[in-house]
Structure 1
Amino acid sequence: MTNVNPFYLGTFVIYLLIVLGIGVWGYTKTSDVMDFWAFGQDMGPWLATWSFVANFVSAVSVIGFIGAVYGEGYSLMTHTIFGLMLGIGALYFVVGRIRNLNLLTFPDIIANVTGFEVARPIAGTILLGNAWLYLIMQLVGASLLVTTITGVPYEYMVWVIGIVFIVYTVLGGLVSVAWTDLLQGVLMVGAVLLALVYMIFDIGSFTAVNQQLASFDPTYVDPTAGGTYTIIGIVATIVAFFGTIFTEQNYIVRIAATRDVRTAKLHLAASGVILAIFYSALVILGGATTVALNQSGLTVQTQDAAFPMLITDYVPSSVGVIIILAVMSAILSTTDTRLHSTGITTARDIYSYFRPSSSDDAQLRISRIATIFFGITATAASVNPPGTIIELYNFRAVLLTCAFLIPVYVGLYWTGLSGLALIASIIVGAILGVGTEFTGGLFGVPSTFIGLGGAVIVLLIGHVLLSDSEPMSGAPSDD
């Protein structure tokens, strides 16, 4: 605690108090479980847009992506970011069908597609695993940043940030989350653009950034990272991150929370434009960070520490505060969303399946209890995280895509498929994808392709063997 920076610490404390205040206000606007879960399904286009943007950008995007550029250059744009942007564009073309279903969660859609209500707790369990991993990523990123810039020990800061996240999410649900997202989304995009302008002028020009980046290592400006990524590896990464856009619980909840189909389409279109500009700026900022640290002789222990070091050891405090606001906005806005999704997944998709006659008040209570439970356990795990931010990010992308992309969206448009085959495809895809991700693939084939391939094979064989089983995909859910 001897190296505490009171200026940065004070900024951070004020920021936390503001979002806590919004959480308390959100509590006064939350009168029932639908308010808590889905904003009463009355979210307008601009609030929905900025909530989507803020939720989309996370610790991975700011600290992790800039760290990835520091470690391997611009190739991040070729695979991960391209896959994400492609996914948003594709989601636009199916969002009308999703919103017209008027279903609240992703497991609701799976139950509708398969015709079996038991698909809800199966899918919900997978989604809880994804959300928990995402919470750890966010808490690690936030705590690493704040520890670096304030001097407060990491193990203390993890718990401070975790508790604040839990409190304001539990209080107001999606009402609190959406309004804090509006504030944080605007701050995040504006601050990153301002930080980029400062770094470009500081180094000289955009061309100077690229020339100096190439002088350190020519592979940094090579879209395939000089062979670090094979073509099949790049394609697998694109597919993995493309699939996450269609399979995230929080995106489906936000679509359900919009007023109507027109609002759902508008918020996705506007979000896609904003995020494309934001990520282009972020990658260039990563290149400028790499140049600045190398020119100054500054080295980091891990690539995740590159951006925090830029704040503490390179830019002046006035610019550092702007960057801090951007990063904290990105982290809080995504973490509260994942916390919120753990509550709705537990109550809506698992608890209500086993207790179908439970009251709205009981489901609201379970949502809040689950939010606290997953928040506390993720905070405890973040004290000694199981991997880097980008490693955890890649892992959960494989999990979601392999489990859900093929069976859910094939079943959504190809009615008549066996519901049991679709459920089996989900389970096998998840197991194969996760299992081979642990081992780094199989026979040189990326885990994404193994999981998706297994899901397709099981789906086709299961459909042939179980084609007479009822219900079929597209049929009303009925166990």
Structure 2
Amino acid sequence: MAGFETLFTFGIYMIFLIGVGVYFYNKTNNVEDYLIGGRGMGSWVTALSAQASDMSGWLLMGLPGAVYLSGINQAWIAIGLLVGTYLNWKFVAPKLRVQTEETDTMTISTFLEKKLGDNTGLIRNFSAIVTLFFFTIYSSSGLVAAGKLFESMLGIDYKIAVIIGALTIVTYTFMGGYLASCWTDFFQGALMFGAIILVPLMALNISGGTQGVIDAMTAKNISMDIFSSGSGKLGPVAIISSLAWGLGYFGQPHILVRFMSINSVKDLKKSRLIAMIWVVISLAGAIAVGLAGIAMFANPADMGGDSEKLFIYMISKLFNPWFGGILLAAILSAIMSTIDSQLLVSSTTLTEDFYKYIKKDVNDKELMWVGRICVIGISIVSVLMALNPSAKVLALVSYAWGGFGAVFGPAIIATLYFKNMNWKSVFTGMVAGMLVLVTWKHLGYGSFMYEIVPGFMANALVTLIGEKVFFKEKSQETNELA
């Protein structure tokens, strides 16, 4: 159980986050403020909030735990994410910012519907259902991470720990909406950045440096070759599966909404530079934590039997309780920065994509309160899913991440870059991507290849065939670059 100093420091940080929510409660005047920050966010806040909400608890728990168990070959995931981050900021962000303002839309669902001219509601409703489904899984992964953190710190039952984490996140998201989410993510992103640099440096220092890590990996038969695993060479399928994490970026609603909310397209270049520096250093730091952990801890039993608690135990071993509380708060930051964004996007989906279409005559005040109630409802479902203490953060995140990438990625790219796409082509592609991904996952093929690969390819292929063959006569200037 954590000492008073750690709990006190940790508690102050949680109170600060709730205070941000209270502050922005009084700054939120209409539904656009609550759901998308009035499209007035600056470069620094946009960059750090996007990356903090992107990386989540898996950066400080899932990825280091995977590296601890398997070695440097897990870096392929980081490489894929790095490339995907850059491409997303470079090619998706500018066009999405412009076109969502032109169509006066605040969600991916309504953007696709309006931009493609779907008057049936099929794209909007299907997109909204997919968003809610995968964000519920995604949010539960964050609550699993929060539960592990609170359980390790407070020594309390895992299920109670999950509920404590959820209550904290819901409180400031409920009150401050998008503005609170972005500004808390900004502070959380800065704290995560500091922790992911300091902790591995200290760990390597007491573990004999690089040589100490090499000796420990050799003793445990963990490969030091990025192209190898403990059982032999990594095949091309395994490498492609890891790199394919980068494909997910084009379809993540909680990241894409950051692009929609920035003050100006001109600010995106600065935001991209900030984001890329943050990502490069943070991913390198997370891998370093996993490698240093191999030398520090003989086996997972030294971390309560769970390798995903590596960062928590490392902090407890390296730092005094006062400073340790601050660094442990970085883990909570990683967790909260993603969950608050997911809850808000899910709330936006229910509000903008369903409620406004059910009740036509509705004012901003009512929509804001509907959004707040939706935050609570989604949180309850996520908590129920997260009550399984054996759930793995990385496994839950990979499924949700793959789902968004496979369903929305090709659709977003096609809609942004090609004029007069037929909505039926895009819709059938999205459905195909979803069906292939879910089938692939539940037939157990995910251990062979990450399900985002066949899902993304199926979506793109069906969209192309639909546009070229089945709906060709109904599209003008098909595939002409925007």
TM-score calculated relative to the size of structure 1: 0.91
| 1:360 and 2:364 aligned | yes
SS at 1:415's partner residue? coil
SS at 2:337's partner residue? helix
Asked whether the equivalents of residues 347 and 367 of structure 1 are also in contact (C-alpha less than 8 Å), the reply is yes
Asked whether the equivalents of residues 48 and 258 of structure 1 are also in contact (C-alpha less than 8 Å), the reply is yes
Q: Which amino acid aligns with 1:193?
A: I
SS at 1:219's partner residue? coil
The Cα shift of 1:369 comes to: 1.2
Q: Aligned match of 2:81 in 72, 79, 84?
A: 84
SS at 2:388's partner residue? coil
Runs of 5+ unmatched residues, structure 1 = none
The Cα shift of 1:376 comes to: 1.5
| 1:272 and 2:270 aligned | no
Specify the alignment match of 1:136 in structure 2. Answer: 140
For 2:223 and 2:126, the matched residues in 1 are separated by: 43
SS at 2:285's partner residue? helix
Specify the alignment match of 1:67 in structure 2. Answer: 65
Q: Which amino acid aligns with 1:216?
A: K
Specify the alignment match of 1:106 in structure 2. Answer: 108
Asked whether the equivalents of residues 191 and 325 of structure 1 are also in contact (C-alpha less than 8 Å), the reply is no
The Cα shift of 1:436 comes to: 0.8
Q: Which amino acid aligns with 1:66?
A: P
Q: Aligned match of 2:128 in 124, 127, 142?
A: 124
Q: Aligned match of 1:216 in 215, 220, 223?
A: 220
Q: Aligned match of 1:466 in 465, 471, 477?
A: 471
For 1:420 and 1:225, the matched residues in 2 are separated by: 44
Q: Aligned match of 1:158 in 155, 162, 165?
A: 162
Asked whether the equivalents of residues 424 and 458 of structure 1 are also in contact (C-alpha less than 8 Å), the reply is yes
Specify the alignment match of 1:20 in structure 2. Answer: 18
Asked whether the equivalents of residues 213 and 294 of structure 2 are also in contact (C-alpha less than 8 Å), the reply is no
| 1:404 and 2:408 aligned | yes
The Cα shift of 1:194 comes to: 1.6
Q: Residues 297 and 129 of structure 1: is their aligned pair in 2 closer, same or farther, counting only changes over 3 Å?
A: closer
For 1:16 and 1:150, the matched residues in 2 are separated by: 14
Asked whether the equivalents of residues 113 and 473 of structure 1 are also in contact (C-alpha less than 8 Å), the reply is no
Matches within 5 A, 1:39-438: 39-78=37-76, 80-94=77-91, 95-101=93-99, 102=101, 103-116=105-118, 118=121, 119-226=123-230, 227=232, 229-239=234-244, 241-294=245-298, 298=302, 300-312=304-316, 316-318=320-322, 320-384=324-388, 387-438=391-442
Q: Which amino acid aligns with 2:80?
A: G
Matched pairs, number: 471
Asked whether the equivalents of residues 436 and 442 of structure 1 are also in contact (C-alpha less than 8 Å), the reply is yes
* CA RMSD between the two structures: 2.6
Q: Aligned match of 2:451 in 447, 450, 469?
A: 447
Q: Render the CA deviation track for 1:329-381: whole Å, top value 9, x for unaligned.
A: 21121221111111111111232244444332232222111111001211122
For 2:150 and 2:86, the matched residues in 1 are separated by: 34
SS at 1:333's partner residue? helix
Q: Residues 296 and 121 of structure 1: is their aligned pair in 2 closer, same or farther, counting only changes over 3 Å?
A: closer
Q: Residues 96 and 460 of structure 1: is their aligned pair in 2 closer, same or farther, counting only changes over 3 Å?
A: closer
User: Quick check: 209-218 or 96-105, which moved more?
Assistant: 209-218
For 1:403 and 1:312, the matched residues in 2 are separated by: 41
For 1:390 and 1:443, the matched residues in 2 are separated by: 14
The Cα shift of 1:153 comes to: 2.0
Asked whether the equivalents of residues 356 and 362 of structure 2 are also in contact (C-alpha less than 8 Å), the reply is yes
Q: Residues 53 and 416 of structure 1: is their aligned pair in 2 closer, same or farther, counting only changes over 3 Å?
A: closer
SS at 1:358's partner residue? coil
The Cα shift of 1:405 comes to: 1.9
Specify the alignment match of 1:6 in structure 2. Answer: 4
The Cα shift of 1:177 comes to: 1.1
For 2:390 and 2:213, the matched residues in 1 are separated by: 34
Asked whether the equivalents of residues 203 and 314 of structure 2 are also in contact (C-alpha less than 8 Å), the reply is no
Q: Residues 136 and 348 of structure 1: is their aligned pair in 2 closer, same or farther, counting only changes over 3 Å?
A: same
User: Quick check: 352-361 or 95-104, which moved more?
Assistant: 352-361
Asked whether the equivalents of residues 65 and 307 of structure 2 are also in contact (C-alpha less than 8 Å), the reply is yes
User: Quick check: 13-22 or 351-360, which moved more?
Assistant: 351-360
Q: Residues 295 and 251 of structure 1: is their aligned pair in 2 closer, same or farther, counting only changes over 3 Å?
A: closer
For 1:457 and 1:400, the matched residues in 2 are separated by: 17
User: Quick check: 250-259 or 216-225, which moved more?
Assistant: 216-225
Q: Render the CA deviation track for 1:32-75: whole Å, top value 9, x for unaligned.
A: 11111111111111222222232223111111111111111122
For 1:334 and 1:451, the matched residues in 2 are separated by: 24
Q: Residues 421 and 377 of structure 1: is their aligned pair in 2 closer, same or farther, counting only changes over 3 Å?
A: same
User: Quick check: 102-111 or 310-319, which moved more?
Assistant: 310-319
For 1:189 and 1:56, the matched residues in 2 are separated by: 13
User: Quick check: 310-319 or 174-183, which moved more?
Assistant: 310-319
Q: Which amino acid aligns with 2:471?
A: L
Asked whether the equivalents of residues 252 and 401 of structure 2 are also in contact (C-alpha less than 8 Å), the reply is no
| 1:31 and 2:33 aligned | no
Asked whether the equivalents of residues 133 and 392 of structure 1 are also in contact (C-alpha less than 8 Å), the reply is yes
The Cα shift of 1:387 comes to: 3.1
For 1:473 and 1:120, the matched residues in 2 are separated by: 22
Asked whether the equivalents of residues 441 and 451 of structure 2 are also in contact (C-alpha less than 8 Å), the reply is yes
Asked whether the equivalents of residues 421 and 475 of structure 2 are also in contact (C-alpha less than 8 Å), the reply is no
Runs of 5+ unmatched residues, structure 2 = none
For 2:194 and 2:265, the matched residues in 1 are separated by: 29
Q: Render the CA deviation track for 1:155-198: whole Å, top value 9, x for unaligned.
A: 21211111111111010101111221222121111122121221
Q: Render the CA deviation track for 1:274-294: whole Å, top value 9, x for unaligned.
A: 111111011111111121012
Q: Residues 4 and 51 of structure 1: is their aligned pair in 2 closer, same or farther, counting only changes over 3 Å?
A: closer
For 1:224 and 1:173, the matched residues in 2 are separated by: 45
For 2:275 and 2:192, the matched residues in 1 are separated by: 14
For 2:378 and 2:419, the matched residues in 1 are separated by: 36
For 1:426 and 1:192, the matched residues in 2 are separated by: 37
